[in-house]
Amino acid sequence: MSTTPTSTQPDLLYSEEEEALRAAVRDLLTDHCDAPGVIARTESDAPHDRPLWKALTEGMGLAGLLVPEERGGQGATHREAAVVLEELGRAVAPVPYLTSAVVATEALLKCGADDLLAELAAGRTIGALAVALNVAPHGAYRTVRLADGVLHGELTGIADAAAADVLLVPADDGGLYAVAADAATVTPQVSLDLTRPVATVVLDGAPGTRLGAAEPAVRRALRAGAGLLASEQSGLADWCLTETVRHLKERKQFNRPVGGFQSLKHRLAQLWLEVVSLRAAARNAADLLATGDEDAAVAVAVAQAYAAPVAVRAAEEAVQLHGGIGMTWEHPAHLYLKRAKADSIAYGTAGGHRAALAELVDLRAP
């Protein structure tokens, strides 16, 4: 490839290796993560797809992408993890990849908790950062009380906690503690997003292992989560556009394909423009996170301020333009709508990220 990205010109493309990774993940999801199966699973006892998680992690080693090889991982970067997330978003796959392989892993990378890190990187252990999913990288989060060496408190809105083996819990002494999930009471909450459900975590004298300082670990974890969420949203929006275009080419009313009506063509063309723009913004965030560029905070905030409205609109358009079928439980459009809407809150709202940008790029409030 002849592009020569510099620190001021992020590489916004996909390398051949990244495209190969995408193809491998997509093949796996095509075979093992079809929409009827995902819909059926949402109302089962096991909303998370553990066989799929095993295939992605133990089979393909994808849980360790962000972890250096000498610490038990694959030594890849946020660029590759972003490609995996695009595909998982495209399939609304119910696996704890963003929460365990990105967010919890980033927290552990910061703490230097290498034994647990290697467990997560191998995918044998699923981790969840016990910070509510709606908390932005710069936002306030709740802590639990440390008393007599054990932890007490209740936390809510913890994504994928029901699937987690270990919880990373910020405590009021400023530490981040590893708590075994079976030492806590984890109760699934009835969640808007059926494929990334949230749960409450109650600690009633639970023992924990202090990993390090909570604040820097949580900030780093949430920033990576927010930045790479944009890639998941990009994949989700791309699925919504592609499926809607396909449907409108086939669906006939008034003796014509519905997709031939100009009002719909213009809406879809506009959506296409937003989807390709989101891809550029998400790629920029992933690349700057990967290179540790000082501009990464701006790139993440830009990507998140842009991504949520686009992903939500893509999903809303998918529901509307599929007509009646889009309102049914049977058609998967609702899974995408629910994920997109929950994602618009996850790791900070678009408005929250705009407020962060106001400081970062010196466009201050009145």
Residues 6 or more apart whose CB falls under 8 angstroms from that of 40 comprise none
Do residues 88 and 32 touch, judged by C-beta distance below 8 A? no
Pick from 6, 44, 253, 262 the residue near another protein by CB under 8 A: 262
Name the minimum Å distance from CB 85 to another protein.
18
The rounded distance, in Å, linking the Cα atoms of 22 and 56 is 12
Binding segment toward another protein, per CB under 8 A, in 3-11, 56-64, 108-116, 161-169: 3-11
Nearest to 241 by CA among 277, 282, 195, 275: 275
How big is the CA angle at 357 (ends 354 and 359), to the nearest 5 degrees?
A: 125
11 binding another protein? (CB under 8 A)? yes
277 binding another protein? (CB under 8 A)? yes
Pick from 68, 185, 268, 320 the residue near another protein by CB under 8 A: 268
Pick from 165, 212, 272, 341 the residue near another protein by CB under 8 A: 272
Pick from 134, 284, 344, 349 the residue near another protein by CB under 8 A: 284
2 binding another protein? (CB under 8 A)? yes
| Residue 309, SS3 per DSSP | helix
Which residue's CB is nearer to another protein, number 145 or number 265? 265
Which residue's CB is nearer to another protein, number 35 or number 355? 355
The rounded distance, in Å, linking the Cα atoms of 98 and 87 is 12
Pick from 23, 147, 276, 325 the residue near another protein by CB under 8 A: 276
296 binding another protein? (CB under 8 A)? no
Name the minimum Å distance from CB 356 to another protein.
10
Do residues 164 and 128 touch, judged by C-beta distance below 8 A? yes
Nearest to 175 by CA among 201, 145, 153, 204: 145
Tell me the C-alpha to C-alpha distance, in Å, between residue 107 and each of 65, 135, 303. 14, 15, 21
Name the minimum Å distance from CB 74 to another protein.
25
> Which residues, numbered 70-129, are part of the site for another protein (CB under 8 A)?
none
> Which residues, numbered 324-363, are part of the site for another protein (CB under 8 A)?
351, 354-355, 357-358, 361-363
259 binding another protein? (CB under 8 A)? yes
**Number of residues in contact with another protein under rule CB under 8 A:** 45
Pick from 71, 220, 280, 341 the residue near another protein by CB under 8 A: 280
Backbone φ and ψ for 156, nearest 5 degrees, come out as -125, 160
- β-partners of residue 142 are none
Name the minimum Å distance from CB 317 to another protein.
13
**DSSP state letters, 145-167:** EEETTEEEEEEEEEETGGG-SEE
Pick from 12, 122, 150, 180 the residue near another protein by CB under 8 A: 12
> Which residues, numbered 221-250, are part of the site for another protein (CB under 8 A)?
245, 248-249
The rounded distance, in Å, linking the Cα atoms of 101 and 127 is 8
366 binding another protein? (CB under 8 A)? yes
281 binding another protein? (CB under 8 A)? yes
The rounded distance, in Å, linking the Cα atoms of 337 and 229 is 15
Exposed (0-12), middle (13-18) or buried (19+): which is 139, by Cβ within 10 Å? Answer: middle
Residues that bind another protein (CB under 8 A): 1-3, 9, 11-13, 245, 248-249, 256-257, 259-260, 262, 264-266, 268-270, 272-273, 276-281, 283-284, 302, 305-306, 351, 354-355, 357-358, 361-366
